[in-house]
């Protein structure tokens, strides 16, 4: 998808919903991006959207990955 919009997120949720096993339920952790929190976004019945609290990057698993990369590979080691 070329843009992050509500319609793109809805399409993403449809794709995820199709891969969830019959009788199972998926929970998606989301940040506070506008297209994640809008009332226009309707989640399928087999998906629950769980937004992370605002201003809490330590709870977002992607932030932990970025911190690891900065500490081990992307940091300036030569001054």
Mind listing the pLDDT tens digit for each residue in 14-42? 999 999 999 999 999 888 888 888 889 88
Q: Does residue 79 lie in a domain region? A: no
Q: Does residue 55 lie in a domain region? A: yes
pLDDT of residue 78: 64
pLDDT of residue 34: 81
Q: Does residue 35 lie in a domain region? A: yes
What is the rounded CA–CA span in Å between residue 30 and residue 28?
A: 6
41: domain range?
6-74
Whether pLDDT at 70 is above 80:
yes
Q: How many domains does the chain have?
A: 1
Q: Between the CA of residue 54 and those of 25, 51, 70, 79, what are the distances in Å?
A: 25, 9, 23, 35
């Amino acid at each position: 998808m070329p843009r992050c919009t509500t319609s793109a997120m809805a399409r993403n949720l449809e794709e995820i919903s199709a891969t969830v096993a019959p009788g199972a339920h998926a929970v998606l952790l989301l940040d506070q991006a506008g297209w994640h929190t809008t009332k226009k976004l309707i989640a399928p019945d087999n998906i629950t959207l769980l937004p992370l609290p605002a201003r809490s990057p330590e709870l977002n698993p992607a932030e932990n990955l970025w911190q690891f990369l900065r500490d081990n590979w992307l940091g300036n080691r030569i001054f």
